[in-house]
Amino acid sequence: MLEFPGDFRLNGLSNMTFAALLPTVISDLPLSGPALLPVVAAGYVLSIIGASILVRKLRNWLT
């Protein structure tokens, strides 16, 4: 069973933790071939959302 450290509210550092664990989560799923495409697409969407939130937080922190 996978254990996820920290909370996964939509904020910068927890999104970075989730993005770091995402390849492990995907590789543990029993999917192959075309069934894997929605999972990979969702991973890209989540990483883009996490990156945009992190950039916004960094911009607010630096100004």
In three-state secondary structure terms, 38 is helix
**Is 5 among the domain residues?**
no
pLDDT value, residue 26: 61
Domain ranges, residue 52? 10-23+39-63
Provide the whole-model pTM: 0.44
**Is 61 among the domain residues?**
yes
Band of residue 1 on the pLDDT scale cut at 50, 70, 90 = very low
Report d(CA 9, CA 11) in Å as an integer.
Answer: 6
Over the stretch 9-63, which tens digit does the pLDDT of each residue have?
544 555 556 666 666 666 666 666 777 778 778 888 888 888 888 888 888 888 7
pLDDT value, residue 17: 61
**Is 28 among the domain residues?**
no
**Is 17 among the domain residues?**
yes
In three-state secondary structure terms, 47 is helix
